[in-house]
């Protein structure tokens, strides 16, 4: 057994009308890796989500926090003491290029507002480090291409924090679709959103976020439509609704519904919003069966069912723990993930986001080129 796909397939109890995968463990816990090397990571940006990632890394088998990069001296001190990162491995945004001479750091995880990703990823690559970047990878496809090129030129890998690409129930649905258990896929629905709070936060600042709900939460439905259907869309239509133009200023979308068409004839209908709760649902329908995840993209636990019964995969680990151990395997062992998490994968989403915004403005169908 060399991949999680084989693991899930071999122990799936589909013949009983339900999926009961007890005590699921990530590949790292099952010794699927080729080595015991540890990925030494510097966290760049020490905000709320970085805190979640840092705590999750404490349960990783092959990842260790060895560097910190922040513009706040107090955070560097507090985090350094908490995670035992020595002062020599703590940097600010002005001097972090010096990581080039630091063998304690293998990779930089960029966890900052969207508009900062471009320069920070390129600087990290030029410093000779692999880069993990939070999604969306950038605020434009042009920036995304420049980031990919910079990492290639430096001979370093660029990965993007698509944590759902390693989530066990999500991978089981992908396996079912790939194995033909759902038949020909006809339809996908992705609903993602929440009521956003503080109107002064960076997510509602176009200069930092690059957009609104679509860039932040709607990208889960957009990306999910691609790996759930298993194809790349060939057209998109979209509509925007804005009920609060004061909170959601020009260029910051509140609610967007968008539709995608795929080469096989399958279609997707998705919703992205900053003004509704109780969403977070994926539904995939084929001519032989269906799969539903709800919640589908939250921090867990993810829950699901299919036409064969409930998906009951027991996973005691945080999603970010699984993600980071799997990314260690990609960077250190050249492991190939079932669903890609590289820069090229993220670029496809950026191209689609731009097409959705164009469709909103034009009110018509936007054709998508095969060439991204």
Q: Which residues are identified as catalytic?
A: 135, 220
Report which DSSP code applies to 137.
S
DSSP for 265-334 reads S-EEEEEEESS--S--EEEEEESS-EEEESS-SSSS---EEETTEEEEE---S-HHHHHHHHHHHHHHH-
369 exposed, middle or buried (CB, 10 Å; 0-12, 13-18, 19+)? Answer: exposed
Going edge to edge, which strands form the sheet with 63-69? Answer: 90-91, 63-69, 39-44, 107-110, 130-133, 158-160
Question: Do 91 and 123 meet the contact criterion of CB atoms below 8 Å apart?
Answer: no
Helix (H, G, I), strand (E, B) or coil at 12: coil
Distance of alpha carbon 305 from alpha carbon 267, whole angstroms:
21
Helix (H, G, I), strand (E, B) or coil at 250: coil
Nearest CA to 99 among 77, 72, 119, 69? 69
Going edge to edge, which strands form the sheet with 255-261? Answer: 19-21, 309-313, 304-306, 290-293, 281-286, 185-193, 267-273, 255-261, 235-241, 366-367
Locate the DSSP E strands across the chain: 19-21, 39-44, 63-69, 90-91, 107-110, 130-133, 158-160, 185-193, 235-241, 255-261, 267-273, 281-286, 290-293, 304-306, 309-313, 366-367
Distance of alpha carbon 253 from alpha carbon 360, whole angstroms:
10
Residue reference for tokens 């889960």: 220
Q: Are strands 290-293 and 281-286 parallel, antiparallel or unpaired?
A: antiparallel
């Amino acid at each position: 057994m060399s991949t999680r796909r084989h693991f899930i397939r071999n122990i799936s109890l589909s013949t009983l009308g339900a999926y009961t995968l007890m005590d699921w463990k990530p590949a790292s816990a099952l010794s699927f890796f080729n080595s015991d090397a540890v990925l030494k990571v510097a966290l760049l940006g020490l905000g709320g989500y970085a805190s979640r990632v840092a705590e999750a890394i404490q349960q990783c088998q092959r990842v260790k926090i060895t560097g910190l990069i922040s513009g706040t001296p107090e955070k560097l001190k507090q985090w350094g003491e908490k995670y035992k990162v020595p002062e020599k491995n703590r940097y600010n945004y002005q001097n972090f290029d010096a990581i080039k001479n630091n063998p304690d750091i293998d990779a930089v995880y960029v966890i900052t507002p969207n508009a900062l990703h471009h320069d920070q990823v390129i600087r990290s690559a030029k410093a000779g480090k692999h880069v993990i970047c939070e999604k969306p990878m950038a605020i434009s496809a042009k920036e995304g291409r420049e980031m990919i090129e910079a990492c290639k030129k430096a001979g370093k890998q660029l990965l993007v924090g698509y944590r759902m690409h390693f989530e066990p129930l999500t991978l089981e649905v992908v396996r079912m679709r790939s194995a033909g258990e759902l038949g020909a896929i006809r339809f996908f629905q992705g609903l993602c959103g929440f009521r956003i709070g503080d109107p002064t936060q960076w997510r509602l600042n176009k200069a930092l976020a690059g957009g609104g709900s679509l860039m932040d939460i709607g990208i889960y439905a957009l990306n999910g439509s691609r790996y759930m259907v298993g194809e790349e869309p060939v057209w998109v239509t979209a509509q925007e609704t804005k009920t609060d133009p004061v909170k959601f200023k020009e260029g910051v979308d509140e609610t967007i519904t968008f539709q995608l068409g795929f080469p096989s004839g399958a279609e997707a209908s998705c919703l992205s919003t900053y003004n509704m709760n109780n969403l977070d649902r994926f539904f995939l329908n084929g001519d032989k069966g269906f799969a539903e995840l709800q919640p589908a993209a939250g921090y867990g636990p993810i829950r699901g069912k299919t036409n064969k019964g409930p998906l009951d995969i027991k996973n005691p680990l945080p999603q970010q723990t699984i993600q980071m151990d799997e990314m260690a395997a990609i960077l250190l062992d050249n492991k190939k993930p079932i669903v890609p998490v590289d820069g090229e994968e993220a670029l496809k989403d950026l191209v689609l986001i731009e097409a959705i915004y164009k469709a909103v403005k034009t009110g018509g169908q936007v054709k998508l080129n095969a060439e991204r």
